[in-house]
Structure 1
């Protein structure tokens, strides 16, 4: 074998070795901003030998089921209160790898320009899952529209309302559907990822919105058996990089806030 052929063979072997050593990591994510953030860090992870496979979901249940059943390695779509409620209700043991960002939760309307304009008996739509429904009620309590029996209960439902001066009519609906029915209700409290997908600008369109002190940090979630793997930790570090922080600040203009 001449020198040229030898060099070609060595290069091919090196390429094969790199490809063979690359580890694949599958992550379930909702479209905005989670999948966008994962796609942003994909080239960085590739340079570190991790092939990131992002699967997009539009609900809040399947991503956890997929990870629990080992069909996916991790997910990125939820906050800690939701994960705790899911684990308790489903008997799963999913765990947090790291916190990444906060999506300030907001109230939106096509019929009024201020919550002060809400009339008696107005229809208010909130998410039907316990943690996000409770989050919505806590925000309305902060706005002075209702008072809860336990003023700090994060899993509150309309049954936990102690005082409702305007006799607001609460409708509990799946979180993903709320932007689509916005024009059918007086107010809808919408998770920022779904608001962004619907073309809403939380910093401009929300009648009221959580501040940066929100405890609902969105987290990368895995199983106890893989949370400390080298590939998972590389992903966690990439999601908390200065490059991601700059990307969040520039792209989402306050609708998404870094939590690191």
Structure 2
């Protein structure tokens, strides 16, 4: 009888031990799998937010084992701050020049590019004039008030033959760096996002394509002059960005590959009439 009781106790002990081991293995395995495939929060704005909302639910994302949550933050600086602080893992909205300007102004909140996505030509728009050479003396030009887009806009005005910039003009250049202004243009600084709304109140407005699309404008059709795709505009190529400490995160890098999936690109080209020109280049190309 004693032997029977001992055998029963032994069997129960073995079952309990096996159960504990199996439970630990299951828990550990589940945790490991979750750690390998965490949910990535992608912060964006405007049409880029719409694109990443589409990408997040795509079959291509599932094939790469990516779980994506999108977050919309309308202000670019706030979005970069959120990325640096970790409430956003990766953001998708800015050019390489904008990133460089942000890093220069925020030495304690450094970000890094993960890869290139597209170039949207910056456009010069006017409700009053249909050609660049028809813009009169003393015309008022509305230009973005953030450093990166201010410089980009001035370079575009120079390409259009309206002004001439100083030889040492840099990524954070502004209207003080104008060397020649033969038409005596007047400059009005505006918030980037208000471009389409002020189009009726000034002579000329420089509008980024993301904002233009939201205002039902197509840079290829509605602008009177826009950036050409060449090496001089490579700092204006858009990127995916993350906190500098995460620049080697392999799951984050997969987002770059995901963006360039042919099916995803077909959707983007169809949705935005070709105005988001795909750029698949190594990061070294931007420098």
Given the two structures, how large is their TM-score scaled by the length of structure 1? 0.88
Q: Does 1:140 align with 2:157?
A: yes
CA distance in 2 between partners of 1:29 and 1:171 (Å): 27
Deviation at 1:111, TM superposition (A): 1.4
CA contact (8 A) 1:31 1:57 kept: no
1:1-260 map, 5 Å: 21=34, 22-32=37-47, 34-42=48-56, 43=58, 44-91=60-107, 92-150=109-167, 153-213=170-230, 214-215=233-234, 216-260=236-280
The alignment partner of 1:141 has SS state of: helix
CA distance in 2 between partners of 1:193 and 1:115 (Å): 22
CA distance in 2 between partners of 1:151 and 1:246 (Å): 40
The alignment partner of 1:225 has SS state of: helix
Question: Relative to structure 1, is the Cα distance of residues 139 and 29 closer, same or farther in structure 2, using a 3 angstrom cutoff?
Answer: same
Higher mean displacement: 23-32 or 95-104: 23-32
Q: Which runs of 5+ in 1 are unaligned?
A: 1-12
CA distance in 1 between partners of 2:229 and 2:50 (Å): 21
For residues 42-88 of structure 1, the C-alpha deviation after alignment (integer angstroms, 9 at most, x for no partner) is: 22223433221111122221110001111111111111111111111
For residues 107-166 of structure 1, the C-alpha deviation after alignment (integer angstroms, 9 at most, x for no partner) is: 111111112121111110011111111111111111111111127533321111111111
CA contact (8 A) 2:101 2:171 kept: no
Count of aligned pairs = 245
Q: Which runs of 5+ in 2 are unaligned?
A: 1-25, 281-287
Question: Relative to structure 1, is the Cα distance of residues 252 and 174 closer, same or farther in structure 2, using a 3 angstrom cutoff?
Answer: same
Whichever structure has more helix as a proportion of its residues is: 2
CA contact (8 A) 1:46 1:52 kept: no
Given the two structures, how large is their TM-score scaled by the length of structure 2? 0.80
Deviation at 1:253, TM superposition (A): 2.4
